[in-house]
């Protein structure tokens, strides 16, 4: 499940949040996508309105995570969508989605490849009211 502590999912968001549409943003396009590939988040900076979802998709060969710097969320391991399918990370684990309902600046990284070793491998979600 898309368990996340405070910022996200359900709760304050409207209908679409509970529906967790598949990747690619369904009707309404209320999601933006961040692609993880080659040890970067692309785009590394995303600005969205509150209530918008972010979908992280791993397109590279390595397993990555999208992990909040302050522990607000952790995607867990995201396997590649293109590489070793069924690599043991469970179904649907190539992507992670989260709805941001509270304005703020949310920085995150990959817990498998931390910024201490991969300085450019960070991202930020800027949520405006």
Q: Which of residues 36-75 bind Cu ion (CB under 5 A)?
A: 64
Touching Cu ion, residues 109-128 (CB under 5 A): 110, 112-113
Considering beta carbons, is residue 101 or 110 the nearer one to Cu ion?
110
CB nearer to Cu ion: pick between 13 and 94 = 94
Q: Shortest gap between Cβ of 14 and Cu ion (angstroms)?
A: 32
Phi, psi (deg, nearest 5) at residue 128: -105, 155
Closest CB to Cu ion among 30 and 65?
65
Q: How far is the CB of 55 from Cu ion (least distance, A)?
A: 17
Among residues 52 and 68, whose Cβ is nearest to Cu ion? 68
Spatial strand order in the sheet of 45-49: 45-49, 122-128, 104-109, 67-68
Q: Least Å distance between CB 98 and Cu ion? A: 17
Q: Site for Cu ion (CB under 5 A): how many residues?
A: 4
Contact residues: Cu ion, CB under 5 A: 64, 110, 112-113
């Amino acid at each position: 499940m898309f368990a996340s502590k405070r910022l996200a999912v359900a709760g304050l968001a409207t209908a679409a949040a509970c529906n967790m549409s598949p990747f690619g943003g369904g009707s309404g396009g209320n999601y933006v996508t961040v692609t993880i590939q080659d040890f970067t988040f692309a785009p590394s900076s995303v600005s969205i309105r509150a209530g918008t979802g972010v979908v992280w998709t791993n397109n590279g060969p390595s397993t990555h995570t999208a992990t909040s710097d302050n522990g607000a969320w952790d995607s867990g391991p995201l396997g590649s969508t293109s590489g070793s399918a069924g690599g043991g990370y469970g179904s649907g684990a190539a992507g992670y989605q989260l709805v941001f309902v509270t304005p703020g600046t949310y920085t995150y990284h990959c817990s498998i490849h931390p910024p201490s070793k991969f300085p450019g491998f960070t991202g930020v979600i800027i949520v405006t009211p």
